[in-house]
Structure formats: structure tokens, C-alpha cells
Chains A and B, each alone.
Chain A
Amino acid sequence: MSSAMESDLIHQSAATLAQAIAEGEVSSREVTQAHLDRIAAVDDRVHAFLYVDTEGALAAAEAVDSRRAAGEELGPLAGVPLALKDVLAMKGVPTTCGSRILEGWRPPYDATVVERLRAADVVILGKTNMDEFAMGSSTEHSAYGPTHNPWDLDRIPGGSGGGSAAAVAAFEAPLAIGTDTGGSIRQPAAVTGTVGVKPTYGGVSRFGLVALASSLDQAGPCTRTVMDAALLHAAIGGHDPRDSTSIPDAMPDVVAAAQQADVRGMRIGLVRELSGEGYQAGVEQRFREAVHVLEHLGAEVVEVSCPIFDYALGAYYLILPSECSSNLARFDGMRYGLRVGDDGERSVEEVMSLTREAGFGAEVKRRIMLGTYALSSGYYDAYYGQAQKVRTLIQRDFDAAFAQCDVLVSPTAPTTAFKLGEKVDDPLAMYLNDVATIPVNLAGNCAMSLPVGLAPEDSLPVGLQIMAPAMADDRLYRVGSALEGALQDRWGHLLIEEAPAL
């Protein structure tokens, strides 16, 4: 290993680190310690982490080192550190979902994703910040204070998985796990200049993922390179009998697709409805340039129309609150987490009510109220029922588009990172951040966001979204890797390396 790398472990990709650890050039303990040091140095400003499990991480790293020394066969990401979104249950480690109501709760079990990470010998550094119960696009709805965008600490890192994206962008971890219900992996990736993938619904187990909206939630990788995302995706994906909605079929080989990195002969569809009004000029510009790069690489670019996408946001904000109003009912102060008002006199209803009043933030309450209303007798058909019909129509739009194209592309988010505080009091403005990412969640297929440059007007990262059919996640990696390679050739480095030093 080069001495340059040794002095700069935090700037390496996960693939590079894994190889160096496997070859004995550096120990997992050294790599882990370097990232813990980085967290100690910068996280007071970034606030990507809610909890750093120093002891657990170092113990896991040492275990990898001793197993490697014993000549054991280790996985492709063995010894590499990772930041875990605080919405996934990890045994014995505080899991808050960014909410006061779960303060102090330490799960007695591991999420399947966590089990698989442990089985892959990945070192979990700690838990990352998020909008409360994954509701938001800025992490400003975290009960523990916002995360700051490493590109500009006064700006949002996206949400809800701002902590995971910021941890990766700030070189606090080469890998992170996010969850994406309406864009919570992809939009933070876009605004932090990183890579994020929402796998096909059912491709990664939801067991242990604290549900926001069960029919939309999906965990996935947050990384700085497409190959790292593929390695992480392969490590956490695949069928899980504990998740009834998990797909039993074998998942496509995403790592091979990332290696292939070839778009020649592919048809790429530009979604007409995901551009124009509401999209920042610099975002559109960088997006179009990237599309030209794909064309230059040998892809055929066509325009497609998905007219029902215009109704996606409306349908999403009925389905999500409906499911979330039910999923969040269990936080009632009876069994775990916060309990308020239990003075020996008050009734159980009063204690439940006071606990939820004190434990949930404004955005969570807003969505619970919306969902409770939408599911109410007499309104169900008009709201939840209609939204499900829109969902079916969106799937048909995708089906028609994928009949013509291998993948679809759009800007990931309509704007670059906005200022902290700018939209926090305007829910509708906040919701519009997800206008381009939501259709994929409603249809259950897969998508990736990867950085395609800085917007000229504010020098902030722009993300391009690639969308593929369900269980064709490999296409994301094939296209993403090709585009990433071409842009890297043009710039001479990854975009993230242009981020200001912290």
C-alpha cells in the first residue's frame, strides 16, 4: 500500500479499503480508527451521527483482523466501516429514528440488514441522524437537531437520510445504509454529491426497519462510488423469510453490472414530466450535459411521457400518511421508549395521549393526522382508495415507458441543497423536493442517484436519477458506472473531491 493511502484512509473507496485489508496492507482496526478520528474531528459541525459505537466498532474491526490473520475467508467488504441510519434496529445500540419517543430504547434484536452486514464483516461505526421517523427532506425534523451539508454547513444535507449521506460526503464513513420511502436515499445523495440507490421493493429485507410506510420503504446503499454501492447492495440484498414482502427470486448481479459499465446499445428515456417548471436552471443544465455524455457513450436517448407522474405526489401524501398513522400507533408509552404523565392517577388513555403529544414532532403529528383522516370511514374510498388507483396507473406509465427503454433518467431533485430553515415551515415546499423520486416508490421499482456536476449558479452538487424496472437493479449499475467513469475521466477525479475541506 502506498504511503499516500496510509495517511489518507478516509478518502479511499470501500472497494479499495477492502482490498487493502484483505491483502494485509492495513488493518481493519487502523481503518476504523481513522474514521472514528474523522468523526471526532468534524462531526460536531456536520452532526451526521446520533450515536457512535466506538467500542463495538473497534471490537468488530479487531475480530476481522484476527480472522484474517487466521486465514479465514472473508467477504468482499470485510473490515470496512459503515454508518447505519438510525431507523434500523441494532441489538443493544440506541435506536431512536430521530424521535424523542424512542429515546433510550435499545433493541433486543438485529434488523436483517444489520445481520447481513455483520455476516459480511462490515464494521458498523454508529447510527446516523434522520428526519423523525424518516419524514422529511432536510433532517431538520430530527428531534436531535439537523445534520449539516458538508458542502456548505449552512445548507441541508437532504432527508430523511441526511445523516447517512453527510457521513459519506464528509468522509466519516465510506459506506452508509439509508432508507428510501419517497426519495430519502436519493435526494440526500443528490444534494451531497454522493451515490444512493433505492433497490427494488422487496429486494432488501425490511425486517428490523422501523416502518414509516410499509408498502414504500426500502433500505439501500449510500456511498461515494457506484461500485461501492453495488458491493453494499449485494451484501444486504436477497430474500429474507422474515419479511413476507421480500422477493424470493435471486437478485441480479449488481457488482458484475457495475464492472460492465457499458451503455452501448441501451435505450435511455428522458421523462418529460420530470423537468421544466420547478427545476433549477443549473440542475437542468448539468442533467442535460450528463445525458449527452450517455449518448456519447453509445446509448440511444429518447423522450418518453409518463402523464400520471403529475399525480404521484398527491397519491403519495395519502398512502404514506395512512400507513404511517397505523405504523406509528405502537409508540404509546406502554412498552418501551418515552412515557409521560404516569403519575399513578392518570388513565392509560391519558398517558398514551400525553406521551404521543410530547414524544412526536410537528411533522410526524401532521402526517398521523392526515393518515387518520384519509382512512376514516366515509373518506377511505375518496382518499386511500383513489390513491391506490393512481398507484396502479403510475405502474402502467412505467410499464409503457420500459417497453420502449431500458432505463429512464431525470434530475433526482429539482434544486440543489437549500439553506437550513428555508422550507422547514412550509410543508408543501418541502414535499416538492421528492417530486421526481416518489413515482419509483409508488411503483416498487428501483432507482439510483449519482452526482453529475455542480450547478453553475451556486456551485452545489446536482444528482441524476436512473430508474429501472423491478428486479432490473443491475441496469442502474451498468448505466451509473459508465456515466461515473466518463465524468471522472473528464474531471480527473470524483466530484466529491471538490467538496471544501472541513
Chain B
Amino acid sequence: MTEPMPYAEAVAEFEPVIGLEVHVELGTESKMFCSCPTAFGAEPNTQVCPVCLGLPGSMPVMNGAAIESIIRMGLALNCSVVDWCRMARKNYFYPDMPKDYQVSQYDEPICVDGYLDVTVTTDDGPRVFRVEIERVHMEEDTGKLTHAGGATGRIHGADYSLVDYNRAGIPLVEIVTRPVTGTGALAPEVARAYVTELRDIMRGLGVSDVKMEEGSLRCDANVSLNRPGDEWGTRSETKNVNSLRSVERAVRSEIERQAGVLAAGGRVVQETRHFHEDTGQTTPGRSKEQAEDYRYFPEPDLVPIAPDPAWVEQLRAALPEQPSVHRARLAEQWGIGDFEMATLVNAGVLGLVEETVAAGVAPDAARKWWAGELTRVANEREVEPGELGVTPADIGRVEELIATGSLNDKLARQVFEGIMAGEGSADEVVAARGLAVVSDDGALLAAIDEALAAQPDVAEKIKGGKVQAAGAIVGAVMKATRGQADAGKVRDLLLERLGVTE
């Protein structure tokens, strides 16, 4: 295996072309073709019926709510909605598919020719890229296989495999971009920004809970490289990209890997690759050199779909605010500029800040925590900020405690640390760790006296009018109280003690 090429060199020598296929599980009450519930996490094979189990004789009936959702999604992505289309059968044998074919769409997708503008921050300020969307189509999800035993965790070599058909038949929407060119070194950021934007749109539409960790939003990232002026290279298709962060890392890692292969005179193999969260690398999956023949044909068990244009216009008129418009409005309300907004978006915390503001926290404070301390910890731990275990309500409570003087910023960070460690609510962490600001004057005066005694020269300076020297004593008091004192108060007491006024 050839060594990957360092990223900066890779993007200096090659131009990446990326393409993204995003699957969104719709949050409809019932499945796509039957009335089984769709809730996540039920006991295996308890949300099934003859239809989604594909029992002989059973027939699908289209879920009208799913059609409505996908049309709204298409409209939100600036697509045209076709006036007539059909479902198709994609035929292949696999035990996670009860019928050994998947009802999907082939050459007649319901929404086509859309786009999405995404913004990435660069050293030169925000840059907007238009990602063109080729198609938005619907299909049914498959069941879920669990492979027991064996080294690979795949079906080959497993001792046995279990299949759960609860997921089979859940409506799934596939959003396919056209190849995205001209992103250069920003390709990973563009990919991430696109998926983030898509997620926010879907969330705004209320069509899906878009939880990447639960698989309700899944992304396959296609990457190819070519030397400037050459034709596009052979692409790989990376699967298992289960977080926004991974989208970026997977694209970056593929660029490095492919550049290494090409620079060594090798050939990129057309294949699926699996992304590994732990190593940040991809490993080869199924070869796609020989295209599988799915023998698509129109699904004869379902009548064609012909959305009434008047209804489509009603849906268009009722679309919620686009995230970009929404963001502009928030920026104005919060009094922040493009750069600050882009920072929030790229850190993946805009929604969290918004929820936190909605929970009663001042916008500046909400931004400070999410974009600062919590993003820093998330990066350190290589998780999304939303997965840290800190809720908007927690931030609200911490801010209350700061406002009443019970906490300071330093202590607040320790409170969040406790919450993230699973020690309970803000109040529970404060109580358990004894994190209240020391406001007992007696205790503080004792500490001040001790500090003055330890640094008599400083005490003299202050008495002599050098008030700025007070910092050394305040620092010593803060150290002695392990940060639990209110520094302002310590300073006031100190000056009072020494009979000095500012």
C-alpha cells in the first residue's frame, strides 16, 4: 500500500471532484407501504407486518405523508417536481431485503435539478459554493443485519447473522448531487457544509429527525482526483460516514490516500470504501469495477404518482424559512456579523445556540459557551458539541448562577465538566463538587490577611498608592480559595482592608 500524501501537497498537485449521496429517513408515523410504526429502538422484529416482511401475496400501498415530505424536501432544495413518475424495483438478493428487491426510483425521480448554496469560512472570509442537486428520489429502507462472530463484522466469515426488519420499509429519501468541482483545498469543508445545511433544512421542514448517529441521515461521499487540465479521475464511494465531522475527515482522508496512489503511479480503483471513525481512514469495500445489474423495471404493484400541480404550489407556499434567511435574521437579532455566524455554523452549534437563546440565555452568553469552551472540548474529544451531554437548560442554569454571583466563569467551566462527566445537573455538580463562589467575608478576609502577610512588600506598594499591585494579592486569594471567590469582591475587600481607595 502506498503512503497517503500530506494534505497540503495533495491539493497543490491534484484537483478534487466530490459528489455526495445523502439518505434521509423520513419521520413519518408509519412506514412507506404499510401502517407499521417507525419508532427507533424497538425490540427487533416487533414493528413488522405481512407487507414490510414481504410475505407472499402482500402488496404495498404508498404512504401519502411520505410523498408530501419528499416533495417539500425537493422544493426546499430548489428542485422541479415532476408531474408524473413511477416507483421501480431494484432487484438483488440480500437477506436484509424481505422481497429481494427494493422499491425505489430509477429513471423517473420525483424531484430533479435543484441546488443548495453553502458557505465555508476561509482566511479571506466566507466563500459561497453552489452545490447542484441532480435528483431527490424515494425508496424503502432495508432491514438491519447484525453479524455475530468472525473478525470482520461483515456477513462473510460471521458465525451467524441476525436480521431485524423493523427498519424495512421505512421511507428513505436519497438526495444526489452533481459532481462538485472547483473547491480545491476546501473540498472537505464544502462537503461538511453541504451536509450540515441539508440537515438544517430537513430539520426545519420537520420531515426527519436527521440524527446521523441513529442513521436517520446517512452520507456517502464520492471523491476523485485529477491533475489540473486532465479529465476527472476514477472515484471511490465512502460509506459509514456517521457524523458531520466524519464527512469532512472522510473526504480529506480520501484525497490524501488517492493522491498517494496517483503520485506513486498507481490507479484508483472504483470501489466502495468504509470510513472508520477511530482511525480517520477508509478501507476498501465492494469493487464497483463491474457494475451490478439491478434489472430495474417499473413497480407493477403501485400506480404512478402524479402530484397535482396546485397542491405542489400550496406546499411551496407553506415552506418554512430557508436556513440562510433564518441565519440572516438571527444574525441581526443577535447583533453579530457574517464571520461570527459562519463560525457558529461550521462548529455545528448554531441550532444549539438558538435553542439556548430560546431557553432564556442572552445570545452573547449562549454563543460564548457553545462556540468557545464546549466546541473546544468537543474537538478535543472528537465528538459533535451536541453529543457532549450539555443541554441548553444546563447553560441557562449556569448563567443564572453566574448572574447571582454564585459562580464565576472558571467555576462554570468546572460545572460543565461535571455535567459532561455524567455527574448530574448543574446544581448537583455545584453541590457535589462544592463549587459555590466563596462570599463569606470572614473567610475571604482571613485569606486576604494571609496573602498580605506572605507578600509584605506588595502590601506596602498598595498602601503607597500602587493600586495595580493589588492583582498579586487577589491572585493569591483566588488560588487559596481554589477559584471559588469572586475576584471583584476580593479586590474590594482588600482595598478596604488597606484603607486605599481608587
A residues with CB within 8 A of B: 88-89, 95, 97, 102, 105, 107-109, 111, 206-211, 213-215, 241-245, 322-323, 325-326, 329-332, 334-336, 347-349, 352, 372, 375-377, 380, 384
B295 cross-chain contacts in A, Cβ below 8 A: 325-326, 372, 375-377, 380
Determine the residue in chain B with the shortest Cβ distance to A329: B100
Determine the residue in chain A with the shortest Cβ distance to B56: A210
Q: Is the Cβ of A352 less than 8 Å from the Cβ of B57?
A: no
Contacts A/B (CB < 8 Å), 22 sampled: A89-B55, A89-B56, A95-B57, A210-B57, A211-B301, A241-B61, A243-B61, A244-B60, A244-B61, A244-B62, A244-B302, A245-B302, A329-B91, A329-B93, A330-B100, A335-B98, A347-B155, A348-B95, A349-B93, A375-B297, A380-B296, A384-B297
CB distance from B265 to the nearest CB of A (A): 33
B293 cross-chain contacts in A, Cβ below 8 A: 376-377
Q: Is the Cβ of B300 less than 8 Å from the Cβ of A109?
A: no
CB distance from B295 to the nearest CB of A (A): 4
Known A329-B91, A330-B99; contact A336-B60, beta-carbon cutoff 8 A: no
For the complex, give the distance between the alpha carbons of A171 and B161 in Å: 51
Q: Is the Cβ of A211 less than 8 Å from the Cβ of B297?
A: no
Q: Of B58, B89, B300, which one neighbours A208 at CB under 8 angstroms?
A: B58
Determine the residue in chain B with the shortest Cβ distance to A102: B56
Q: B54 contacts the other chain (Cβ, under 8 Å)?
A: yes
For the complex, give the distance between the alpha carbons of A361 and B291 in Å: 30
Known A329-B93, A380-B297; contact A336-B101, beta-carbon cutoff 8 A: no
Q: Is the Cβ of B300 less than 8 Å from the Cβ of A207?
A: no
A214 cross-chain contacts in B, Cβ below 8 A: 300-301
Q: Is the Cβ of B100 less than 8 Å from the Cβ of A332?
A: yes
CB distance from A379 to the nearest CB of B (A): 10
Q: B493 contacts the other chain (Cβ, under 8 Å)?
A: no
For the complex, give the distance between the alpha carbons of A19 and B388 in Å: 75
A105 cross-chain contacts in B, Cβ below 8 A: 56
B58 cross-chain contacts in A, Cβ below 8 A: 109, 207-208
Q: Is the Cβ of A242 less than 8 Å from the Cβ of B59?
A: yes
Q: Is the Cβ of A326 less than 8 Å from the Cβ of B57?
A: no
Q: Is the Cβ of B53 less than 8 Å from the Cβ of A88?
A: no
Q: Is the Cβ of A326 less than 8 Å from the Cβ of B56?
A: no
Q: Of B101, B161, B300, which one neighbours A348 at CB under 8 angstroms?
A: B161
Known A244-B61, A377-B293; contact A326-B55, beta-carbon cutoff 8 A: no
CB distance from B47 to the nearest CB of A (A): 15
Q: Of A245, A326, A349, A352, which one neighbours B91 at CB under 8 angstroms?
A: A326
Q: Of A88, A241, A380, which one neighbours B57 at CB under 8 angstroms?
A: A88
For the complex, give the distance between the alpha carbons of A377 and B296 in Å: 8
Q: Of A102, A109, A213, A332, which one neighbours B50 at CB under 8 angstroms?
A: A109
Q: B466 contacts the other chain (Cβ, under 8 Å)?
A: no
Q: Is the Cβ of B303 less than 8 Å from the Cβ of A245?
A: yes
CB distance from B90 to the nearest CB of A (A): 10
Q: Of A95, A111, A210, A335, which one neighbours B53 at CB under 8 angstroms?
A: A335
CB distance from B499 to the nearest CB of A (A): 88
Q: Is the Cβ of A336 less than 8 Å from the Cβ of B156?
A: no
CB distance from B51 to the nearest CB of A (A): 8
B91 cross-chain contacts in A, Cβ below 8 A: 325-326, 329, 375
Q: Is the Cβ of A242 less than 8 Å from the Cβ of B56?
A: no
Q: Of B56, B59, B60, which one neighbours A330 at CB under 8 angstroms?
A: B56
Q: Is the Cβ of A330 less than 8 Å from the Cβ of B57?
A: no
Which of B57, B101, B155, B156 has the most chain A CB atoms inside 10 A of its CB? B57
New contact pairs (10) apart from A244-B60, A334-B95, CB-CB < 8 Å: A108-B55, A208-B57, A244-B59, A325-B91, A326-B295, A332-B100, A348-B95, A348-B155, A380-B296, A380-B297
B89 cross-chain contacts in A, Cβ below 8 A: 326
Q: Is the Cβ of B161 less than 8 Å from the Cβ of A109?
A: no
Q: Of A107, A244, A322, which one neighbours B56 at CB under 8 angstroms?
A: A107
For the complex, give the distance between the alpha carbons of A349 and B92 in Å: 11
| 8 smallest beta-carbon distances between A and B, as pairs | A329-B100, A375-B295, A214-B300, A215-B300, A89-B57, A208-B57, A210-B56, A210-B57
Q: Is the Cβ of B57 less than 8 Å from the Cβ of A244?
A: no
For the complex, give the distance between the alpha carbons of A108 and B296 in Å: 30
For the complex, give the distance between the alpha carbons of A105 and B296 in Å: 29
For the complex, give the distance between the alpha carbons of A377 and B294 in Å: 8
Known A108-B50, A109-B50; contact A243-B59, beta-carbon cutoff 8 A: yes
B95 cross-chain contacts in A, Cβ below 8 A: 332, 334, 348
Please provide the chain B residues from 47 to 88 with a CB less than 8 Å away from any CB of chain A in the complex. Answer: 50, 53-62
Q: Is the Cβ of A211 less than 8 Å from the Cβ of B57?
A: yes
For the complex, give the distance between the alpha carbons of A241 and B303 in Å: 12
For the complex, give the distance between the alpha carbons of A349 and B59 in Å: 26
Q: Is the Cβ of B61 less than 8 Å from the Cβ of A242?
A: yes
For the complex, give the distance between the alpha carbons of A315 and B471 in Å: 94
